[in-house]
């Protein structure tokens, strides 16, 4: 930064300065942690007092917890991992049970976001006739929200006794979770004005009620790709348009990244459908209790805790798996 002419490009200089500050803070955090561990270990070797050893042991456990957090943070290496996330959930095979399952997943991710002290906003929701939701799109804003939640993208399978079946038969339901980064800057994705068609319509609430009496809901069609996004939960048309554009940018970016990945791998990706055989995770509530991730094989029998938003262990295991695959060249 002391190089002559560095500040000539103000935007570039500010970006480099921010990156420098971030890296400096990371190094200082790791250095402090290392030094603290060294001090405690030295103190433990110098004392035989049981109460002192217990206290030092507790302090060491606290530092271990800090280490685990820092270790996980090193796994966020993607270009967009630091961005907010836009999560869409679509009910798949399973009828009304699948729609109820989609709503259960929505609650799970809202609770997860709440546990992380992240903000959430429902951008679009299509409710089922009898129960649950057909589809929903949620904006989740928080530190590394996309980096965390991108690991949740895929088909989620539920096995339980159906509350909608008079005979309480066992039912298998599926829902598809899609996660994209929230793209704020136009330079990340080039969307020409002539490439989009913007329609407005009256927003609909629960039970067919109107959210407001104006045509505030917005539907945007990206003509070159045929992608369609819509938003109705904001109060004004301008806000809904802005939110819909964020979703469109994220979808287009995701499409570009996937095309590049396929070109590098020399393969054509298969379309994932929300049905049997394509699930990334299964949630079994009957005849036994188990949540298992089929990618990492991580599992737990505490299904209630998971459905209440405690999904971080699954996320961390998947992040470690992806990092390991990248380092070994198998990703």
For the stretch 3-26, pLDDT in tens is 666 677 776 777 677 777 777 877
Prediction pTM value: 0.74
| Structure confidence at residue 150 as a pLDDT band (50, 70, 90) | very high
Taking residues 272-276, what's their average pLDDT? 57
Q: What is the pLDDT of residue 259?
A: 78
Residues 152-158 have a mean pLDDT of 96
Query: What pLDDT score does 204 carry?
Result: 62
**Least confidently predicted of 101-105, 115-119, 323-327:** 323-327
* pLDDT of residue 145 exceeding 80: yes
In this structure, of 66-70, 95-99, 177-181, 259-263, the range with the lowest mean pLDDT score is 259-263
Give dist(CA 64, CA 60) in Å, integer.
6
Of the two residues 224 and 206, the one the predictor is more confident about is 224
Q: What integer is the mean pLDDT of 111-118?
A: 97
Q: Is the peptide bond before 235 cis (omega within 30 degrees of 0)?
A: no
What secondary structure letter does DSSP report for 110? Answer: H
Full DSSP string of 37-72: HHHHHHHHHH---HHHHHHHHHHHHHHHHHHHHHHH
Identify the residue whose tokens are 């935007």. 11
Alpha helix segments (H runs only) across the chain: 10-46, 50-73, 95-115, 145-149, 237-265, 303-307, 312-328
The mean per-residue pLDDT over the stretch 80-107 comes to 93
Could you give the CA distance from residue 180 to residue 247 in angstroms, rounded to a whole number? 8
Contact (Cβ atoms closer than 8 angstroms) between residue 108 and residue 306: yes
302-315 tens-digit pLDDT? 999 999 999 999 99
- To 5 degrees, how large is the angle CA 108–CA 112–CA 117? 145
Instruction: Report whether pLDDT(125) > 80.
Output: yes
Angle at 156 between CA 151 and CA 159, to 5 degrees: 145
Q: Which pLDDT score is estimated for 4?
A: 65
**CB contact set of 177 (below 8 Å; sequence gap of 6+):** 87, 88, 89, 105, 152, 153, 154, 155, 156
pLDDT in tens, 179-201: 999 987 655 677 888 899 999 88
Does residue 205 surpass a pLDDT of 50?
yes
Helical residues (DSSP H) of 74-127, grouped into ranges: 95-115
Burial class (CB in 10 A: 0-12, 13-18, 19+), 82: middle
pLDDT classification of 268: cutoffs 50, 70, 90: very low
Q: Residue 94's pLDDT is what? A: 78
pLDDT of 96 reads 94
Residue 210 binned pLDDT confidence (cut-offs 50, 70, 90): very low
Confidence grade of residue 207 (pLDDT, cut at 50, 70, 90): very low
* pLDDT confidence of residue 15: 67
Mean pLDDT of 163-180: 90
What pLDDT, on the 0 to 100 scale, is given for residue 326?
Answer: 84
**Reported confidence tier of residue 214, pLDDT bands at 50, 70, 90:** low
pLDDT given at position 269: 43
What's the confidence (pLDDT) of residue 263?
A: 63
Listed residue (88, 160, 168, 98) closest to 129, CA to CA: 98
Task: Report whether pLDDT(54) > 60.
Answer: yes
């Amino acid at each position: 930064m002391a190089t002559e002419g560095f500040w000539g490009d103000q935007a570039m200089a500010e970006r480099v300065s921010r990156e420098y500050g971030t890296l400096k803070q990371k190094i200082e955090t790791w250095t402090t942690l290392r030094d603290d561990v060294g001090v405690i270990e030295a103190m433990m070797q110098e004392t035989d007092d049981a109460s002192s050893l217990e206290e030092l042991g507790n302090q060491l456990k606290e530092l271990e917890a800090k280490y685990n957090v820092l270790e996980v943070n090193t796994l966020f290496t993607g270009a967009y991992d630091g961005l907010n996330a836009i999560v869409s959930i679509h009910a798949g095979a399973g009828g009304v049970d699948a729609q109820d399952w989609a709503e259960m997943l929505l609650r799970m991710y809202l609770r997860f976001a709440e546990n992380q002290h992240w903000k959430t906003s429902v951008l679009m929701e299509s409710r089922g006739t009898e129960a649950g939701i057909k589809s929903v799109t949620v904006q989740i804003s928080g530190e590394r929200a996309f980096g965390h939640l991108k690991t949740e993208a895929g088909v989620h399978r539920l096995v339980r006794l159906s509350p909608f079946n008079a005979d309480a038969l066992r039912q298998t339901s599926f829902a598809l979770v899609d996660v994209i980064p929230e793209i704020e800057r136009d330079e990340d994705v080039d969307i020409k004005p002539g490439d989009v068609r913007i329609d407005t319509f009256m927003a609909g609430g629960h039970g067919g009620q109107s959210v407001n009496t104006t045509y505030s809901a917005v539907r945007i069609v990206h003509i070159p790709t045929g992608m369609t996004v819509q938003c109705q939960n904001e109060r004004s048309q301008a806000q809904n348009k802005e939110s819909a554009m964020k979703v469109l940018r994220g979808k287009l970016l995701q499409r570009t990244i996937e095309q590049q990945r396929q070109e590098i791998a020399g393969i054509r990706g298969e379309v994932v459908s929300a049905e049997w055989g394509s699930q990334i995770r299964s949630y079994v509530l009957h005849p036994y209790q188990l949540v298992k991730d089929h990618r990492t094989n991580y599992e737990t029998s505490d299904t209630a805790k998971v459905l209440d938003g405690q999904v971080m262990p699954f996320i961390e295991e998947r992040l470690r798996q992806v990092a390991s695959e990248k380092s070994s060249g198998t990703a």
